[in-house]
Amino acid sequence: MTNEVPQGELTIGSVRIPGRVFLAPMAGVSDLPFRRLCREQGAALVCMEMISAKAITYHNERTRQLWLTLPEERPVSLQLFGSEPDIIARACRILEPEQFDLLDINMGCPVRKIVSNGEGSALMRDPGRIRELVAAAVENTSRPVTVKIRRGYSEDLLNAAACARAAEEGGASAVTVHGRTREQMYSGKADLGCIREVREAVDIVVIGNGDVTDGPSAVRMFTETGCDAVMVGRAARGNPWVFREINASLAGQPVPPRPTRAETAAMILAHARGEILYKGERTAIREMRTQTAWYIAGFPGASSLRSRAGSIASAEDLEQLVREIAGDS
């Protein structure tokens, strides 16, 4: 199958999205400060870290922080995980007054502690349960409901198309398909064939996910699968510029040059300042150790800089490291 690369805005249910390249929900990564940076760099839709539906029904204050949003990052998707229709329904009702645009249900997370509770990709073993969960959400929210699935649970159960049909039957407006099984986790290559099968099996919006790392890989995802949008995950870590690069490629425009050391340093600082405002200095600086290591991957002397990043203890430490990254000292 060869398809044209779609251009312009996309509508999911009642929500208009101003482009075709989305930021994936990633635990410990796609928080509010990072989502803002990705939106500024051209992500048409940004997605929150996944949130436990059960924790929402317990009115957990730490959980509440996860769904804070700002007007400038919208449209934004909130992703729930859970396996009980009544809990999903209650969580949707609690969330109804909050400020977000799409409600996604995670049915693809491969992490053991999620799967062992019958959540995440474990749901792909039971398409009937997928239908029930989506219907419970649709009946209890005013927002379009979407789902995120994988190629299958295992090589013995490659049922992405059946799961997507079940989601559509439950009332879902879109489905994101990651081209790996649960067993693969993030190893090997994503299979684009399963995304094409889903595109042929349903009439709702299909979003391709897996190994979209730059313009050429995004073009390949579109042309080989016929998907309506692409979702970028790990390639965005430490690299919010990936969205402007992909958008340029899709539009047939020259790809902007990679950021200079000074531009990278400025982005790290902007990211850190956002995290400090959002979480406080102690937590923000601890998390920026990993974030900074992602930003400087591939730099000359990156090993030494990574070691330094791993030991920063204050905003002052980070600012000094950022000056070194920029080449000012």
Instruction: Say if CB 115 and CB 122 are below 8 A apart.
Output: yes
Distances 220 to 198, 200, 208, 216, 259 between C-alpha atoms, Å: 16, 17, 10, 6, 24
3-state secondary structure of 50: coil
Angstrom distance (rounded) from CA 209 to CA 190: 8
109 is catalytic: yes
3-state secondary structure of 171: coil
Quote the distance between the C-alpha of residue 63 and its chain's center: 18
CA angle 221, 226, 229 (to 5 degrees): 65
Angstrom distance (rounded) from CA 129 to CA 159: 14
Residues 21-47 as b/e (b if ≥16 CB within 10 A, e otherwise) read: bbbbbbeebbbbbbbbbbbebbbbbbb
CA angle 130, 132, 138 (to 5 degrees): 100
Of 109, 163, 194, 227, the catalytic one is 109
Angstrom distance (rounded) from CA 77 to CA 155: 30
Residues 273/39/223/194 CA torsion (nearest 10 deg) = 70
Active-site amino acid positions: 109
